[in-house]
Structure 1
Amino acid sequence: MFQGKSFLKEIDFSSAQLEYLIDFAIHLKDLKKRGIPHEYLKGQNICLLFEKNSTRTRAAFTVATNDLGAAPEFLGANDVHLNAKESVEDTAKVLGSMFDGIEFRGFSQEVAEDLAKYAGVPVWNGLTDDWHPTQMIADYMTLKEEFGKLAGLKLVYCGDGRNNVANSLLVTGAILGVNVTVAAPESLFPEPALIDLAKGYAEKSGATIEVTEDVDAAVVDADALYTDVWVSMGEEDKFEERINLLKKYQINKELTDKIEKEYIFLHCLPAFHDATTSYAKEIAEKFGMAEMEVTDEVFRSQQARQFQQAENRMHSIKAIMAATNGNLFIPEIK
């Protein structure tokens, strides 16, 4: 069921299987907190293949690999020649012959799929332009820790509705029975095919899927507010356009005051909540906006769970790696 299987996108797994990974991640987090060893991958070698740089993904995979008793090896964009000097197929076969598992974080979902097709070992998607499945296990793990359940909760995503995080939140929530609303300007709505895909899963799980421009109405009954940067990697020339499009979708106190119950705030990080970094200062000086997708007040509020969410990246990745490559006894889950 899990053993030897790659983790490339959420739709490759059933609701019960995704919930298992979430619950397993919570269990592994408890073992770690209590100092109980869980070296399910002892003696293995794991390749961490990064076309795109990352803080959390690299740290999470490295610590998870070490905790599981395996040895991580980082290969950055300058260390490999995917589709430049060497085909993905050839690279996959070479790495698969040397490593027991491969993490891939890059641009193309097709590359991730081809690595899994030819490597002969599990491949774990650390992010592509289309999907962010390891992030999703951590995100919905955080929701389950906070609320004790998933089905029936309402998550509202505010911002760029076309990016990989919004896509994955929408589809994963639909699979798990979580009501997901994407609040975005119409020009940044998710692709119609993606919305239809999510609604198809929602019909089976009982979830409600909504995409709207009306952010004020969307947040009223939210259990969780989620946002991401307005400009994704490789789109840095679009800052002015995105600021003009998205400033009314900023998560600020005026917006959170519209929520009529207890809620939590989530962000996959990094966040532009102040102008303390050199990059944020540059944006603030150029466009006059020191706080972008979320204000510092909300980011530092008692509702904020983004650092718990970030830590959960490591626990959830550990669960995925152990379940798919650890020869565990796992009851049949349809």
Structure 2
Amino acid sequence: MLFIWVQMLSRWASVACFIMLLEYFSGYNDIIMARVFAHQDILDLAKYASVPVINGLTDYNHPCQIMADALTMLEQIGRIENTKVFYVGDGNNIVHSWLLLADVLPFHFVCACPKGFEPDAHTVEMARGAGISKIEITNRPREAVKGADIVYTDVWASMGQKEEVDYRKQKFQGFTVDETLMEIAGP
């Protein structure tokens, strides 16, 4: 197993050096799994690698996390279809991954986030356009959580946003999973 730190990769002087490095790693591995910051980095990695590339995490999505969560839903509830998944927090990479899952599996997905922190509009429209799942984006978590089968959240400040912690702490007041929210969700 080989681990490459993204910071190390970003130090390469040119794309040509980066491609040579990928060719080297591809020759010694059957697959590459990468956790990177910029989504474009994973796309470039997949473009130039000669072996399959798994997206371990980017600033746009986190597909492996959502696949694990979907398996947990199957284990605990017995189904994904016809469940209501309620997410409260930042409309970030986790939300985008739920939306991409909703593009292929039928369930009700609700994202409650403060104004200005909504998920990528194109991704929302893509999920809605598939016509498979019911998708809601709201700024009213207490109303939207009613009847949720799953209540989900994530950090307020994701990768690359640590300098915004105090600002986000203020903006995300009322967008937390607490006892009151869980009581509203129901059994």
Q: Which one has the largest radius of gyration? A: 1
Deviation at 1:112, TM superposition (A): 1.2
User: Is 1:81 aligned to 2:9, yes or no?
Assistant: yes
**Distance across 2 between alignment mates of 1:73 and 1:84:** 18
Tell me if the contact between 1:159 and 1:228 (Cα under 8 Å) persists in the aligned partners.
yes
**After TM superposition, which residue ranges in structure 1, 4 or more long, deviate above 6 angstroms?**
none
Cα distance in 2 for partners of 1:120, 1:220 equals: 48
**CA-CA distance at 1:252 after TM superposition:** 0.4
How does 1:18-97 map onto structure 2 within 5 Å?
A: 72-77=1-6, 80-82=8-10, 84-87=12-15, 88-97=18-27
Instruction: Quote the residue 2:72 is aligned against.
Output: 142
- TM-score where L is the length of structure 1: 0.53
Q: Quick one: distance in 1 between partners of 2:57 and 2:79?
A: 26
Q: Aligned-pair RMSD on alpha carbons?
A: 1.5
Tell me the TM-score normalised to structure 2 length.
Answer: 0.92
Q: CA deviation at 1:126?
A: 0.7
Report the equivalent of 2:120.
191
Deviation at 1:260, TM superposition (A): 2.5
**Percentage of pairs with the same residue:** 32
The separation in 1 between residues aligned to 2:9 and 2:152, in whole angstroms, is 36
Per the alignment, residue 185 of structure 2 pairs with 259
Per-residue deviation, 1:127: 0.4
Task: Please state how far the C-alpha of 1:86 moved relative to its aligned partner.
Answer: 4.6
| Aligned 8 A contact 1:180 1:210 in 2 | yes
Aligned pairs, how many? 185
| Counterpart among 218, 225, 230 of residue 156 in structure 2 | 230
- Please name the residue that 2:34 is paired with: 104
2:60 counterpart of 1:130: yes
Counterpart Cα distance in 2 of 1:167 and 1:89: 29
User: Deviation digits for residues 57-103 of structure 1, max 9, x if unmatched?
Assistant: xxxxxxxxxxxxxxx1222246x434633524332222112211111
Q: 2:135 aligns with which of 209, 213, 216?
A: 209
2:143 & 2:103 partners in 1: Cα distance?
A: 20
Distance in 2, matches of 1:108 and 1:91, equals 19
- Structure 1 distance, partners of 2:10, 2:170, is 37
- 8 Å CA contact 1:174–1:198 kept in 2: the answer is yes
| 1:75 alignment partner, SS class | coil
* Equivalent residues of 1:136, 1:169 under 8 A apart: yes
SS in 2 for 1:210: strand
Report if the CA contact (8 A) 1:174-1:208 is conserved: no
Q: CA distance change for structure 1 residues 112 and 83 in 2, over 3 Å: closer, same or farther?
A: farther
- Secondary structure at the counterpart of residue 143 of structure 1: helix
Cα distance in 2 for residues equivalent to 1:171 and 1:74: 27
Q: How far, CA to CA, are the matches of 1:97 and 1:75 in structure 2?
A: 15
The residue number in structure 2 matching 1:181 is 110
Which residue of the partner structure matches residue 43 of structure 2?
A: 113
**What do the CA deviations read for 1:100-128 (whole angstroms, capped 9, x no partner)?**
11111111222212222221111111101
d(CA) in 2 for partners of 1:83, 1:179: 43
RCO higher in 1 or 2 (8 Å CA, sep ≥ 6)? 1
**Structure 2: how far apart are the matches of 1:129 and 1:180?**
20
Give, in whole Å, the separation in 2 of the partners of 1:170 and 1:81: 30
Work out the CA distance in 2 between the residues paired with 1:177 and 1:83. 43
Structure 1: give runs of 5+ residues left out of the alignment. 1-71, 262-334
Q: Structure 2: how far apart are the matches of 1:178 and 1:86?
A: 44
Residue in 1 that maps onto 2:176: 250
